[in-house]
Chains A and B, each alone.
Chain A
Amino acid sequence: MSNEEVPERWLLISLGNRYRGDDGVGPYLLDRLRSRLAGLVDFLESGGDMARLVGEWKGRQVCLVDAFLSDEYVAGNLVRVNIIGDNDLADFIAPSLCSTSSHGFNLGEAIELGKILQSLPRRLDIFAICAEDLTRSDRLTPKVKTGAQRAEQAIIAFLHADNGGQPCTNSP
């Protein structure tokens, strides 16, 4: 057995509702990445229970994919937020956002609770795609679908790089 360090598996978490148009971009990416990153990454589709994340992401390297709404970005734009360790992600995310239910937590609160309970991810990289339409639909709008394809490539490159680079293949 070699003494070479085996890279730790990443946990890829998707947030969003498959039936709310562009909000489904997280699950859409998760579905596509499952086959392309099988064996390298663990996958978790979150249906909105942020309390669950506090238990699941503790100490892990986490890549989180989600949709966001903004007046400053164009639909389909990819925004990456890189969080390492204990810093101010909770400040980055407005408490009023990401709230799935007043009965539950939003992402900012989950991170705040994670800090208090020492149950934060070791590293958290967020890939967020600017959404356009969140009304009832099981399809992404064309701009968001194109943005999702760019995000897919970015995530694959990012996770392969963390695992020592692209695997060798016989493909030219």
Chain B
Amino acid sequence: MKEIPASGNSKTIKVDYLARVEGEGALFIRYDDDTVHDVQLKIFEPPRFFEAFLRGRDFSEAPDITARICGICPVAYQMSALHAMERALGLVPTETIRALRRLLYCGEWIESHMLHISMLHAPDFLGYPSAVAMAGDHPDIVRQALEIKKAGNALVRLIGGREVHPINVRVGGFYRLPSLASLHGLRPQLAEARKLAEQMARWAARLPFPHCEYAYEYVALSNPNEYPMNEGRIISNRGLNITAQDYEKHFREEQVPHSTALHSVLIERGAYLVGPMARYNLNFPQLSEPVRRIAGELGFKPPCNNPFKSIVLRCFEVLYAFEEALRLIDQYQAGGEPYLTAEPRASSGCAVTEAPRGLLYHRYSIDRDGKIAFAKIVAPTSQNQKTIENDLRLMLPKFMHLSEEHLQGLCERAIRNYDPCISCSTHFLQLHLQHEQRGSP
């Protein structure tokens, strides 16, 4: 960190613990009346070395080991890991397995998004320090959110064996397939929660949003047949259109002195944005007709370039996840083998799936005995770090008239727009805002 010269005109705002983000980090901003000089999203959580842990382990262990990277989005890690391994082994999952994986992902999107929407993000818009404080004045919203999340939990529990760190997923498929009756048994709860999700989206759309619009490069999976979760090409609004195999030709991870998480950039153009805003803006036509209609009614047709509005887009994705889950359950064909097997061979494979927070890339090399020789994982938060810093750099000049307390609060909100999961990328955030007036040394 740079040494800040002492000045009678300079100001420092410090927030030791920014709540409602996952992980430990700090933010430092130095600015004066004209410009922002330095923004550093400082992630000091120690590196977790998952890629190193994986070396020497059996290929079949990758989904369960990588799931431990995150208690909020373990399914995402399982999905990217097993798709990468299946590509290495030449396994093509059956339609039943494919549908169940999508169903499991629906459950995780619901769980993860709902937690962020109601417990972490909504208090920002209503002026509360926490969801517990918000619940005192808005108990119905919190009750609805818990009901919605409960339905997501039920879905993950049924397909995955339990709601946190599912245990029923394996390379090639599942250890055990759910019965048709058990899936249909979940239908009433999902249908009821879908109604609540629509109410939640309509409520969120009326929240007061700061006026901030930026020109982002959005990067997401895209699939002509469906809103992306497990499959698709990696595209952007600036012409990127590649397969997962070409990911490392276009994206590079960089070390920065102030973060134990690597920053990921597009080699050609630098910072980019992944997550619900990218998915929504690039894949709006693939959403279900009711979601598109409701988005139109609420004035949220794409493009949506205001990161503060991402709370509404998450609500749309929750609504979509319920509709998709109901569709998948209605079309589910019971029967067939729960998993495919393959003999290990020396090979490599990579895959990208859409974690709730955005693109999640895994690449593995395995030896002829099926032991992992190399692993590379690029989490969504490390891809968004540079964009978060850019948002703060662009946002601050518009709001310098605010009191330091308000400015500080706005910076924290701007970070939470991304639902950052610092533990995934390498836990609390400290915020240091330093204000220098013109002419200070």
Contact with B along A44-62 (1 / 0, CB 8 A): 0101110110110000000
* Interchain Cβ contacts within 8 Å, total number: 65
Query: A9 to B135, alpha carbons, bound, how many Å?
Result: 29
Report the minimum CB–CB distance from A138 to chain B (whole Å): 14
Other-chain residue from A52, A100, A109, A113 in contact with B153 (beta carbon distance below 8 A):
A52
Report the minimum CB–CB distance from A140 to chain B (whole Å): 20
B164/A117 in contact, CB under 8 A: no
Contact with B along A98-116 (1 / 0, CB 8 A): 0011111100010011001
Residues of A within 8 A of B427 (CB): 102
User: Known: A102-B427, A117-B142. Is A47-B162 also a contact (CB below 8 A)?
Assistant: yes
Other-chain residue from A51, A101, A109, A117 in contact with B71 (beta carbon distance below 8 A):
A101
Q: Which of A102, A104, A117, A119 has the most CB of B within 10 A?
A: A102
User: Known: A49-B153, A102-B427. Is A55-B147 also a contact (CB below 8 A)?
Assistant: yes
A52/B150 in contact, CB under 8 A: yes
Q: Which residue of A lies closest to B23 (CB)?
A: A102
Residues of B within 8 A of A104 (CB): 71-72, 115, 119
A102/B22 in contact, CB under 8 A: yes
Report the minimum CB–CB distance from B202 to chain A (whole Å): 21
Query: A14 to B196, alpha carbons, bound, how many Å?
Result: 30
Instruction: Indicate whether B139 reaches chain A with its CB closer than 8 angstroms.
Output: yes
Instruction: Indicate whether B36 reaches chain A with its CB closer than 8 angstroms.
Output: no
Q: Which residue of A lies closest to B73 (CB)?
A: A103
Other-chain residue from A45, A52, A54, A103 in contact with B72 (beta carbon distance below 8 A):
A103
- Interface size class of chain B, counting residues whose CB lies under 8 Å from the partner chain: 20 to 34
Residues of B within 8 A of A117 (CB): 135, 139, 142-143, 146
Query: A117 to B132, alpha carbons, bound, how many Å?
Result: 10
Residues of A within 8 A of B19 (CB): 102
Report the minimum CB–CB distance from B190 to chain A (whole Å): 15
The A interface, classified by DSSP as helix, strand, loop or mixed, is loop
- Interface size class of chain A, counting residues whose CB lies under 8 Å from the partner chain: 20 to 34
Residues of A within 8 A of B139 (CB): 116-117
Report the minimum CB–CB distance from A48 to chain B (whole Å): 6
User: Known: A49-B163, A113-B142. Is A102-B131 also a contact (CB below 8 A)?
Assistant: no
User: Known: A47-B165, A113-B131. Is A100-B71 also a contact (CB below 8 A)?
Assistant: yes
B163/A116 in contact, CB under 8 A: no
Query: A18 to B187, alpha carbons, bound, how many Å?
Result: 31
Given contacts A49-B164, A104-B72, 19 further A-B contacts (CB under 8 A): A45-B162, A47-B162, A47-B164, A48-B71, A52-B149, A55-B150, A101-B71, A102-B20, A102-B22, A103-B21, A103-B71, A103-B421, A113-B131, A116-B132, A116-B139, A116-B142, A117-B139, A117-B143, A117-B146
Taking Cβ atoms with an 8 Å cutoff, the residues of A that contact B are: 45, 47-49, 51-52, 54-55, 100-105, 109, 112-113, 116-117, 119
Q: List 29 A-B contacts (CB under 8 A).
A: A47-B71, A47-B163, A47-B164, A48-B71, A48-B164, A49-B163, A51-B119, A52-B149, A52-B150, A54-B146, A55-B147, A55-B150, A100-B71, A101-B71, A102-B22, A102-B23, A103-B22, A103-B72, A104-B72, A109-B132, A112-B132, A113-B142, A116-B132, A116-B136, A116-B139, A116-B142, A117-B135, A117-B139, A117-B146
